[in-house]
Amino acid sequence: MPDLDIRKIRILQAIIDDYILTAAPVGSRTISKHPDIGLSSATIRNEMSDLEELGYLEQPHTSAGRVPSDKAYRLYVNSIMQKSRLSADEMQYIQRHFSNTLDEVERIVRQTAWVLSNITNYTSMVLKPQIHTVKLKHIQLVPVSEGKALLVIVTDAGITRDAIIRIPHDMDVTQLERLSHILTAKLTNSRLDNVSNVLIPELAAQIGEHREFLNAMLETVQRSMQPTGGNVELSGKTNILNYPEYNDIDKAKSFLAAIEEQDVLYKMLTDASKVEFSITIGNENNSTDMKDCSVVTATYKVGDVSMGSMGIIGPTRMDYSRVLAVLGYIGKSLSDILTNMFEEEHD
């Protein structure tokens, strides 16, 4: 930002730091007492006035202190803020809560969300590993009653999906078993989003027609792979109520309503899966309900491929630096665990 000299930046930083801590508009006197800044309050006032004119500060009303704008936070995270590192204690805390025997993806995701929200005191969300980026590993048809079977799909990331389907009445266990084998053989390692219709004739030939059934079944496979809405694990939903800016019941309500809109969060997180870290500040959010929030995300991987992402939702005055550090570290931990689960062992 060329329009700010070093002194203005330093003052702005002091303001932001203070505001992040106290959530109260900060006045010139507070800053003038700051050890690193040897200036009188009057000088600070002049500088603040400039900063306001440039759009970095806002005044709730004339006789109040000033509050950083979204633009200020943006500048802050882009240029001013320095990366912080987690303390050994914090790392240990995280490790301790990851160390238990975790063998189900569901459980791991839940645990991750829990740790995230507990260590940051914000609301956290974790996108479950996304199935459509992933290859099919096994299909099993399990009979559950006359004319019904459970279709179970397993992918290489250990995600399972299931659905009840009708089966022809003349199809017995052995046939289902055979069909499971054929399907598994045919579809293994194909990506689920291109289980295309060209397969059907081929399958029909092998299984002895039942075309409509095959059709219906493949359709179910396709549909099962759609995001179902249960794809985002949230934790610490009420944490935000502890921050003074959300003591207003209506703000709290709209925040809580916003995070109950799983679709929105889902979209945010899938978008965020493309970049290692992302920070979205206040009005930069698409949802107007979240215009007083910031969202920070990070991705996690299995091996080298990005599998999903996770994020922190908090007030715009959140401690970006720490949150980034936490997300980075936990992202790494999660990637390690998942990778370990699915890749061969090196021993």
Partner DNA sequence: GGTTAGCACTCAAATGAAACGAGTGCTAAT
Partner DNA sequence: ATTAGCACTCGTTTCATTTGAGTGCTAACC
Contact 74, 296 (CB under 8 A): no
Which structure tokens are listed for 72? 């200020």
In Å, how far are 40, 43, 344 from 110, measured between CA atoms?
51, 51, 24
107 binds, among DNA, a second copy, none (CB under 5 to 8 A by kind): a second copy
Other Cβ atoms closer than 10 A to 275: 12
* Residue 54 interacts with a second copy (CB under 8 A): yes or no: no
CB-based burial of residue 45 (10 Å sphere; 0-12 exposed, 13-18 middle, 19+ buried)? middle
Contact 335, 96 (CB under 8 A): no
* Residue 209 interacts with a second copy (CB under 8 A): yes or no: no
- The Cα 278–Cα 260 span in angstroms is 21
Among 34, 71, 97, 110, interactor with a second copy by CB under 8 A: 110
Judged by CB under 8 A, the number of residues near a second copy is 47
**Residue among 101, 89, 97, 88 at smallest CA distance from 116:** 97
> Binding to a second copy (CB under 8 A): which residues in 68-97?
none
- Minimum distance from residue 288 beta carbon to DNA (Å): 24
Of 1 and 173, the one with the shorter C-beta distance to a second copy is: 173
**Phi, psi for 99 (deg, rounded to 5):** -75, -20
Among 55, 60, 147, 168, interactor with a second copy by CB under 8 A: 147
Of 199 and 241, the one with the shorter C-beta distance to a second copy is: 241
Residue with tokens 């160390």: 99
43 binds, among DNA, a second copy, none (CB under 5 to 8 A by kind): DNA
> Binding to a second copy (CB under 8 A): which residues in 233-272?
237-238, 241, 247, 249, 252-253, 256-257, 260
- Rule CB under 8 A: which residues touch a second copy? 103-107, 110, 137-138, 140, 142-148, 150, 152, 154, 156, 158, 160-165, 220, 224, 228-230, 237-238, 241, 247, 249, 252-253, 256-257, 260, 341-345
